[in-house]
Amino acid sequence: MKRVLSAMVIGSIVLITAAPCRAGWLSDAVGVNIDLTKQVAAVLSKPQTVQAPAPVITPPPKPTVTVVIEPERAKLIQFIDDFSQDAAQNAARNGSIALGLVIAAILLGVAASLAGFCKAATVAGFLSILTTATVGANNALPFRDNANTYKIVSAQSHALWIDATLHSSMTQDEFGAYAQKLTALALYGDNGAVSGSTQRLQELLEKLHSAGPAPEKPH
C-alpha cells in the first residue's frame, strides 16, 4: 500500500512539472498562442512597387489688398502739392508785409530824426507818431506769426507730398491717413490765434505722426 501511495505522489509531481511544457505545446498545436513577431514581419515585408506620376502640388493663392486707383492717387498728390505751394505763398506774403513794416518803421525813424535836426518840429513829431504806429502795428498784427505758421504748414505738406509720391501702391486706409494729415495742417494754419505757439506746434507734429494707416487685411 505504501508503495502505491509513493508511486502516486511521484507521478503527481512529474505531471505537475511537465504540465506547463505540455500546455504550451498544446496551445501552439491548436493555434491559441500566435507568434506575433512572425506575423508582423510577414505583413511588413518589402511591398511590390509600380511607377506612377508624381502628384501636382498647387501653391496657395497669394493674399491681395485693395488699392486706390491711379487717377485718385494722382489727384491726391496734386492736391498736396497745390496745398504746399499755397501755404508757401501765404508765408511769403505775410513775411513781406512784416518786413515792409520793419523797413517803414526804420525809414520813418530816420526821417523823424532828420526833421528834428532841421528844426522842423511839427514834421518830426508827425514822423515820430508814424514810426511808433508802424512799430506797434508790426507787433500787434499777426503777420510775423502767420508767416512762421505757413512756413511750417508748407514744409510739412511738402514732406507729405514726397511720401505720397514715393508710395506707389496706396491702400484706402493709407489714403484716409493722408487726408487726416492734410486736415490737421489746414486746421493748424487757419487757427491763427494759437498756431504760433510751441505747444500747438508740438500737438500738430504728434497728430501728424500718429495719423498712420491701419494695416490692410488680405483678401
Per-run averaged pLDDT (10 residues), the chain, 219 residues: 57 53 51 62 68 79 81 90 90 90 88 83 83 83 85 89 88 87 83 61 69 45
Q: End-to-end CA distance of the chain, in Å?
A: 102
Give the per-residue pLDDT at 137. 80
pLDDT of residue 123: 81
Note the pLDDT of residue 92. Answer: 92
pLDDT score of 158: 92
pLDDT at 29: 52
Whole-model pTM?
A: 0.60
Question: What is d(CA 191, CA 51) in angstroms, rounded to the nearest whole number?
Answer: 80
Q: How far apart are CA 195 and CA 112, in angstroms?
A: 36
